[in-house]
Amino acid sequence: MSVKKRSVKPVRRSLAKIRKDNSDQILKVAERLFSDKGYSGTTISAIAKEAGLPKANVLYYFHTKDALYKRVLSNILSIWMLSMNDMTEDQHPRDALRSYIVKKIRQSKEHPHASRIFAAEILHGAPYLREQLETDLKEQFQATCQVFRHWISKQWMDPVNPEHLMFMLWSSTQAYADFQVQSSIMLSKTELDDQDFNEGADLLVRLVLKGCGINQV
Amino acid sequence: MSVKKRSVKPVRRSLAKIRKDNSDQILKVAERLFSDKGYSGTTISAIAKEAGLPKANVLYYFHTKDALYKRVLSNILSIWMLSMNDMTEDQHPRDALRSYIVKKIRQSKEHPHASRIFAAEILHGAPYLREQLETDLKEQFQATCQVFRHWISKQWMDPVNPEHLMFMLWSSTQAYADFQVQSSIMLSKTELDDQDFNEGADLLVRLVLKGCGINQV
DNA sequence: AAATCTTCTGACCGATTGGTCAGAAGATGG
DNA sequence: CCATCTTCTGACCAATCGGTCAGAAGATTT
């Protein structure tokens, strides 16, 4: 245990650092609260309180609650898109699908709050994300479906419906973040551990590969 | 087009009918709004407005917002539990799993609002449902896992992890309600039609049966 | 038709909400 | 050290929130 005192005599910080520290802290707290309570259930005062700042200071950095929420969302989406587009047609589906599932479940484990905000957005009709879903995400979705069709034409997998396979992959991996509370209740645990995530990934990989007639090595 | 006028000269209604009509109408509107906007995002005034009643009248039937929400939730949960517990060990998994998936997806199609409220509850930590999840739902969950284990011991299916199979079934069927907005955007439709739900069910049945090594007839 | 019970509702309440603003406090560059 | 720019914040605001209540309006019972 360190007994080093902080913030008793405020250290002189550069403006750049002050700005970065505070907005990072606000974004971090906001992500957790938006995830736990939803947009309407989260108040600026609550964010300010947990971030250790006066409410007016939060509004100094993010002029409106809306703007803050949009910033949180866009941060999330950029992380999201990255892990989406790494299934390519020159890979074998055996490897591509496995690593996709593993990566997605790891993301659910490591960024549960982000994942849940995303889910809540869509659950409520995607009022803020609709445009980006219609452009960026849809583009990636269709590209990935093309990859599936390519694999099917090469007879690397059964002729399954590509779109619905994507939906299944998305929802069943996403669930390890969104429904973590329910899962841990069912398993009589306070929270899921690494083994649970691994077992989930194993089951999904098995189901998808075998289910699509992809011969596992 | 009918030109029959209603509510110009109010019809004489019995007290029993009045009470039933109004509370039903309130519950119906409340379910839709809670589903669309979440608990905090839904106001009593909004419910009253859409139900065509003054706010004070809504509070006459349901004394608090909390009580109204709980009523909506408990209605949902009772529908839910019914479709859960019809997998038994004397059935063959081929039939039992297929009809479970089909039934669950039909539920997502026919009760999308209820489904989304349920999902949002869990997403935000199940503050109102926790107790029932820990008792009723957990009991059914464990019973169903036992059925899976029985099927496995009879070598009717591969030795897959029963708990995670349940999670997969739950999330991938649930998704056809929760993420309907996203799915329809991806498919360039205003909303999913019967064929979409059927294709989804077909894919899931195929994946689960083949994936679990259950020989389809 | 009178008495009683239920339903209905406009007016009102304190608390909380997101947001504003003037001016203090602190950091920066010369 | 001073002028200037950025950061910070308490006080304040209109709007809205969930909820109360007295009394009107309507239904039921006698």
pLDDT tens readout for residues B112-135: 999 999 999 999 999 999 999 999
Beta-carbon count within 10 A of B113 CB: 18
Greatest Cα-to-Cα distance within chain A, rounded to the nearest angstrom: 69
- Alpha-carbon distance of A199 to A187, in angstroms, equals 13
Q: Across the interface, do B186 and A130 touch by the CB < 8 Å criterion?
A: no
Beta-carbon count within 10 A of B102 CB: 17
- Alpha-carbon distance of B51 to B45, in angstroms, equals 10
pLDDT of residue B18: 86
By C-alpha to C1' distance, C17 is nearest to: A43
From the list B157, B161, B173, B170, the residue with the least C-alpha distance to B94 is B157
Greatest Cα-to-Cα distance within chain B, rounded to the nearest angstrom: 69
Listed in sequence order, the residues at least 6 apart from A36 whose beta carbon sits closer than 8 Å to its beta carbon are A42, A113, B124, B125
Structure tokens given for B180: 């309907």
Determine what percent of chain B is predicted with pLDDT higher than 90.
Answer: 84
Nucleotide lying nearest to A11, CA to C1' measure? C26
pLDDT of residue A82: 78
pLDDT of residue B27: 98
**CB of B137 within 8 A of CB of A179?**
no
Structure tokens given for B179: 């993420």
- Alpha-carbon distance of A52 to A58, in angstroms, equals 10
pLDDT of residue B217: 66
Does residue A57 lie within 7 Å of nucleic acid chain D, judged by its CB?
yes
The answer on pLDDT for A2 being more than 90 is no
Determine what percent of chain A is predicted with pLDDT higher than 70.
Answer: 94
Alpha helix (H) residue ranges in chain A: 15-41, 44-51, 55-61, 65-84, 93-110, 112-123, 130-132, 138-153, 162-178, 180-186, 194-211
pLDDT of residue A143: 94
Chain A residues whose beta carbon lies within 8 Å of the beta carbon of residue B134:
185
Q: Which CATH architecture best describes the domain A15-63?
A: Orthogonal Bundle (1.10)
Determine what percent of chain A is predicted with pLDDT higher than 90.
Answer: 85
The answer on pLDDT for B190 being more than 70 is yes
In this prediction, residue A9 has a pLDDT band, given cuts at 50, 70 and 90, of very low
The answer on pLDDT for B151 being more than 50 is yes
The answer on pLDDT for B7 being more than 50 is no
**Angle between the A44-51 and A15-41 helix axes, to the nearest 10 degrees?**
140
Structure tokens given for B193: 């039609």
In this prediction, residue A217 has a pLDDT band, given cuts at 50, 70 and 90, of low
pLDDT of residue A14: 82
For the CA of A24 and the C1' of D19, the distance in angstroms is: 38
Nucleotide lying nearest to A56, CA to C1' measure? D9
DSSP A170: H
Q: Is A142 left (phi over 0), alpha (psi -120 to 50) or beta?
A: alpha
Topology at the third CATH level for domain A71-211 = Tetracycline Repressor; domain 2 (1.10.357)
The answer on pLDDT for A150 being more than 90 is yes
- Cα dihedral A32, A36, A40, A43, rounded to 10, equals -50
- Residue range A57-65: mean pLDDT, rounded: 98
**Angle between the A162-178 and B194-211 helix axes, to the nearest 10 degrees?**
70
Q: Does domain B15-68 have CATH number 1.10.10.60?
A: yes
The answer on pLDDT for A7 being more than 90 is no
pLDDT of residue B6: 32
- Residue range A147-176: mean pLDDT, rounded: 97
- Residue range B10-34: mean pLDDT, rounded: 89
pLDDT of residue B11: 58
Lowest mean pLDDT among A5-9, B28-32, B188-192: A5-9
Q: Across the interface, do A167 and B174 touch by the CB < 8 Å criterion?
A: no
Burial per residue of A133-164, b for 16 or more beta-carbon CB atoms within 10 angstroms, e otherwise: beeebbebbbebbebbeebbeeebbeebbbbb
- Alpha-carbon distance of B87 to B136, in angstroms, equals 16
Structure tokens given for B96: 């039992």
pLDDT of residue A104: 95
Beta-carbon count within 10 A of A2 CB: 5
By the 10 Å C-beta count (0-12 exposed, 13-18 middle, 19+ buried), B10 is classed as exposed
- Alpha-carbon distance of A125 to B179, in angstroms, equals 9
pLDDT of residue B143: 94
From the list A185, A158, A173, the residue with the least C-alpha distance to B132 is A185
- Which amino acid, residue A124? H
Tell me the average pLDDT of chain A.
92
- Delimit the domains of chain A by residue range: 15-63, 71-211
Listed in sequence order, the residues at least 6 apart from A130 whose beta carbon sits closer than 8 Å to its beta carbon are B181, B185
Q: Across the interface, do A170 and B174 touch by the CB < 8 Å criterion?
A: no
**CB of B122 within 8 A of CB of B73?**
no
pLDDT of residue A81: 80
**CB of A163 within 8 A of CB of B186?**
yes
Q: How far is A197 from chain B (nearest CA, A)?
A: 10
- Alpha-carbon distance of A16 to A130, in angstroms, equals 34
Q: Which of A169, A186, A198 to mutate to test the interface with B (most CBs of B within 10 A)?
A: A186
Topology at the third CATH level for domain B83-211 = Tetracycline Repressor; domain 2 (1.10.357)
- Residue range A107-129: mean pLDDT, rounded: 96
* Apex B79 CA angle, B39 and B27, nearest 5: 45
The answer on pLDDT for A161 being more than 70 is yes
**CB of A163 within 8 A of CB of B202?**
no
3-class secondary-structure state, position A213: coil
Q: Is A126 left (phi over 0), alpha (psi -120 to 50) or beta?
A: left
- Alpha-carbon distance of B198 to B215, in angstroms, equals 21
